[in-house]
Amino acid sequence: MKFSNRVINLNESPIRKLAPSSNKAISDGKKIYFLNIGQPDIQTPKSFFEAVKRQKIETLKYEPSQGNRKLIESIVSRFKEDDIIFDYKDIIVTNGASEALLFAISAITDPQDEILIPEPFYVNTVSFLKQFSINVVPILTVEENNYHLPEIETIEKLINTRTKAILITNPNNPTGTVYSEEELKMIVKLALKYDLYIISDEVYRPMSFDNKKATSLATISRKANDNLILIDSVSKKYSACGARIGAIISKNESLMSHIIKLAQARLSVSTLDQVGATELYKLDSKYYIKISKEYQSRRDVVIKELEKIDGITYSYPEGAFYILVTLPIENAEHFAKWMLESYEYDGETVFVAPAKDFYLKSNKGINQIRIAYVYNKNKLKRALLILKKGLETYLKNF
């Protein structure tokens, strides 16, 4: 039996590909600190579960393909509190941010079109692009510049007649970079000049540190309203990854009239998860201030512990809850697998994500790992101590 080139050419997720090794480690009795995946340990707000429990439903029916009206209205209100104005018709509820990205790509591209994306990038985004036979054109960013964007001339050289969009995640996964208003204005300028879409993944927007503000592209220029496709989700900011509730948002009425056809084809999004998510979007700004401070304090712990490890370099996260670390080794994937299969410190080890697949070319990121600081501060200290001890042992043996 043959398989499609589409699926053969996809890379395994570096975040999950070592799961068999971690399962074996657990069966062997090891305790693992999972720093590989963006699954926060912060409790999902109780209002989500309370809203679901209040439902007196005898038949679990389909919701409208656009989404539950109360949920959409709560999303509109939430954005309005941040001085971002959207209407009901601008929003379609999706099965997480992943489906929102799939809808955006499906609606604006044809096979062999091109999308520009800062590199390193969230690997699943590129997997989606490959599924549609879209050529990924990386905008290279570097650790030395904290993974901020290059000059506009560098990006402009990458644009041609096949270019359909620029895709950014702000704050960024995997780098933690928060793009400045000047960088966002540069993206808007290019989009307007070359009639490009901007796909702006803003699922981490409330999580910015050191008094930096992750500015929404929706506030940069009204002239770009038709160019902008905004992606949102409850997964990270509300620690509700399992709810799978996202949204695709745009003021481009023609675009949204096509995207609703995609939503209709998949029927609808989970009824009960939409009920719970409605209450999450009603949380006030105090909630966002609290989680931002919590993740900043975790970032500070990670930086302090990384300073104790010889031979490494790393970016300085300005938001989200990820950090890229460059190790003094040849192959980070080998190291990550070795940590799971062959190393333990007092019966414990750590699971990190090798960063090679966060780059398009296989020779980049090969000695880097991504750490997700999703644990409380005490657990992070312990996990990074184990990482330090493990790296020291690894360097003596390889």
pLDDT in tens, 332-350: 999 999 999 999 999 999 9
Gyration radius from the chain CA atoms: 21
Confidence of residue 105 (pLDDT cuts 50, 70, 90): very high
List helix spans (H) across the chain: 5-8, 19-27, 46-53, 69-81, 96-108, 123-131, 152-156, 181-194, 253-265, 271-280, 285-306, 332-341, 377-397
Q: What is the pLDDT of residue 13?
A: 72
Per residue in 235-252, pLDDT (tens digit) is: 999 999 999 999 999 999
C-alpha atoms less than 13 angstroms from C-alpha of 64 in its C-beta half-sphere = 11
Q: What is the pLDDT of residue 5?
A: 80
In the three-class reduction of DSSP (H, G, I as helix; E, B as strand; rest coil), residue 314 is classed as strand
* pLDDT of residue 11 exceeding 90: no
* pLDDT of residue 139 exceeding 80: yes
Confidence of residue 361 (pLDDT cuts 50, 70, 90): confident
C-alpha dihedral (236, 245, 114, 222), degrees to nearest 10: -90
Residue spans of the domains in the chain: they are 5-43+286-397, 57-283
| CA angle (276 as vertex; 278, 267 as ends), nearest 5 | 85
Handedness of CA 213, 217, 219, 223 (dihedral sign): positive
Beta bridge mates, 140: 119
Per residue in 159-216, pLDDT (tens digit) is: 999 999 999 999 999 999 999 999 999 999 999 999 999 999 999 999 999 999 999 9
Contact 231, 201 (CB under 8 A): yes
Q: How is residue 242 written in tokens?
A: 């399992």
* pLDDT of residue 362 exceeding 90: no
| CA angle (199 as vertex; 196, 205 as ends), nearest 5 | 140
Is the model more confident about 4 or about 72? 72
244 sits in the region (left: phi over 0; alpha: psi -120 to 50; else beta) called left
Per residue in 268-327, pLDDT (tens digit) is: 999 999 999 999 999 999 999 999 999 999 999 999 999 999 999 999 999 999 999 999
CA-to-CA distance for 14 and 91, rounded, in angstroms? 32
Among candidates 266, 282, 285, which has minimal Cα distance to 98? Answer: 266
Q: How is residue 237 written in tokens?
A: 């900011």
CA-to-CA distance for 218 and 44, rounded, in angstroms? 27
* pLDDT of residue 35 exceeding 70: yes
CA-to-CA distance for 167 and 230, rounded, in angstroms? 10
C-alpha dihedral (101, 107, 111, 113), degrees to nearest 10: -80
Superfamily designation of domain 5-43+286-397: Aspartate Aminotransferase, domain 1 (3.90.1150.10)
* pLDDT of residue 15 exceeding 70: no
Q: What is the average pLDDT across 359-377?
A: 94
C-alpha atoms less than 13 angstroms from C-alpha of 364 in its C-beta half-sphere = 14
The tokens 């050529």 sit on which residue? Answer: 135
CA-to-CA distance for 164 and 191, rounded, in angstroms? 9
The tokens 């509820």 sit on which residue? Answer: 93
Interacting residues of 87 by C-beta distance below 8 A, sequence separation 6+: 76, 251
Looking at domain 57-283, its CATH class is alpha beta
